[in-house]
Amino acid sequence: MSAIRLDSTSELLLKANDIRVDIINMLLPAKSGHSAGPLGMADIFTALYFHTAVHDPKKPQWDGRDRIVLSNGHIAPVLYATLGEAGYFDKKLFNSLRKFGSPLQGHPHKGALAGIETSSGPLGQGLSQACGMALAARMDKKKHVVWCLTSDGEHEEGQTWEAVLLAAKYKLGNLVAIMDRNFIQIDGPTETIMPLESMAAKYRAFNWEVVEIDGNDMLEVVKALDAARTRAASGKVQPPLMIIAKTVPGKGVSFMENAYEWHGKPPNAEEAAKALAELRAARAKIKA
């Protein structure tokens, strides 16, 4: 089990708050990058890396670790913030996001930084890679769990559904996918750009197990991830699991919440200051 495991909800909420602060601080000097998705996913990343997943930041290549594949690479800031907070690398690197020579590439690059399992950015490819990892684990009778974090928008890519078919065919029960169902994409609301509902019905029809949760309710997230891990680590040949996590894009920063305009842009200095003030207030409330 992870050496950095946090068990109380308030500790986890404080860590998620740290990660949101890191995201804002990282995006400001970068002057480009995505704000809404990373903030919305901060609770799930916290629960996964600081509670449920089995991994060791001191041994990033340890073979027994859970594989955490980020498919929608554009939410890299939340991955970097989480890995930095977990101790995979020096947090001083946060300031270098998207800068020349930095291992914090605009989209994650495997090998550039400890803890990054795959290179990602082009959408719809992560679930396929996670399937490959899950197949390898089964062939080698290994017990770790393969997690794949996906976005709702990337379900518009046909390849995602090719992977959904394959995972169901091979009953990759050691695979857990988590969908960031935040209902926004760059050009607008998902249901306007390309209607995706019902995601749960679609996955069930494709012979997956489906769980739906509020992705910003820490207690609910932790319970769902723990249950998913227990199921996936059982070694049973069983349907893969999709956790559809409804999240609020921009969560924690009032003027970014649910506004698709914040999908693909960073805050300016004034907006960052306002965001950080809100996060400080939220922190005080968690502590109280």
Interface ranges with another protein (CB under 8 A): 109-111, 117-122, 125, 128-137, 139-140, 158-159, 162-163, 165-166, 169-170
Q: What angle do CA 166, 117, 180 make, to 5 degrees?
A: 65
Of residues 95 and 159, the one with the C-beta less far from another protein: 159
Q: Is there a cis peptide before residue 119, judged by omega within 30 degrees of 0?
A: no
Interacting residues of 286 by C-beta distance below 8 A, sequence separation 6+ = 10, 13, 14, 17
CA dist., res. 135 & res. 132, Å (int)? 5
Shortest distance (Å) from residue 2 CB to another protein: 21
Question: Measured from the CB of residue 142, what is the shortest distance to another protein in angstroms?
Answer: 9
CB of residue 146 to another protein, shortest distance in Å? 8
Quick one: three-class SS letters along the chain?
Answer: CCCCCCCCHHHHHHHHHHHHHHHHHHHHHHCCCCCHHHHHCHHHHHHHHHHHCCCCCCCCCCCCCCEEEECCHHHHHHHHHHHHHHCCCCHHHHHHCCCCCCCCCCCCCECCECCCCCCCCCCCCHHHHHHHHHHHHHHCCCCCCEEEEEECHHHHCHHHHHHHHHHHHCCCCCEEEEEEECCEECCEEHHHHCCCCCHHHHHHHCCCEEEEEECCCHHHHHHHHHHHHHHHCCCCCCCCEEEEEECCCCCCCCCCCCCHHHCCCCCCHHHHHHHHHHHHHHHHHHHC
Nearer to another protein, 99 or 107 (CB): 107
Nearer of residues 165 and 237 to another protein, judged by Cβ: 165
Least CB distance from residue 186 to another protein, whole Å? 18
CB 156 within 8 Å of CB 222: no
Name which of 159 and 238 has its Cβ closer to another protein: 159
| Closer of 128 and 151 to another protein (Cβ) | 128
Query: Smallest distance, Å, CB 235 to another protein?
Result: 16
Q: How far is the CB of 12 from another protein (least distance, A)?
A: 29
The CB-of-125 to another protein minimum distance in angstroms stands at 5
Residue whose CB is less far from another protein, 122 or 235: 122
Quote the least distance from Cβ 173 to another protein, whole Å: 16
In terms of CB distance, is 42 or 176 closer to another protein? 176
CB closer to another protein out of 72 and 119: 119
